[in-house]
Amino acid sequence: MACGYTQVNLVVLPSSLADDFDAFCRSNPKPCPLLERTEPGLFGPRRMAPGADLRTDLPRYRVYRSGELVDQPRSIEKYWREDFVSFLIGCSFTFEWAMLRAGLPVRHVEENRNVPMYRTNVMCVPAGAFHGPLVVSMRPLTPDQARRAVEVTSHFEHVHGAPVQIGEPDAIGIEHLEEPDYGDAVTIREGEIPVFWACGVTPIEAILRARLEIAITHEPGHMLVTDVRDEDLCDLK
């Protein structure tokens, strides 16, 4: 849906934690490419989707209290506070259209599933209350396709860029590809290898460990579709 338009992940936090989370994103730009930060209390992004309402315009949300998931609503209006600051973070769904245009398969799209996402043993650079492991998304490709995917996605640094690991899940602590921590497992065919990209679900892991009074994120795989075209985030113009 909305082919060619940039999708973004969402994090909503009390303003007292906003600078720490901003620092976390800037210290870990590969999994947390920050595209926009709102002013406290504002639920309408000005750059990525003017006129949108971050309280209602994502398909589903996650609400955390003290590090525990307490709700997965379709609207966060009842939770909204005047001190909330929202962060819009780049999403790898954005570069998938470029992969498809290049003739590369995107298996979870083929199988009508959510992309598989895995918690790794690679630790992010901490900032204030925020710390935790890198989360990656996976797309199976042949070795030749993987090389082409590196070329295509490296031009999308604002939405995770090139893969962080190719073909060796054990090297980043992933033991069972058929059991993703988020999303759905997909078919890996003979001759294919797993290709891993940094993932915007990484902040959820940091939020879980920070055990904040309250934090709100997108439901993994349920992003905001913005008004920005994919090509506007590509360095090939």
Looking at residue 221, what is its pLDDT?
86
DSSP letter string over 126-150? PBTTB--EEEEEEEEE-HHHHHHHH
Looking at residue 3, what is its pLDDT?
77
- Sorted by sequence, the CB contacts under 8 Å of residue 178 that are 6+ apart come out as 185
Pick out the chain residues at pLDDT < 70: 1, 235-237
How far the first Cα of the chain sits from its last, in Å, is 24
Domains and CATH numbers, the chain: 5-233 (3.30.2040.10)
Q: Is the pTM of this model over 0.85?
A: yes
Looking at residue 235, what is its pLDDT?
67
Distance CA 136, CA 27 (A): 17
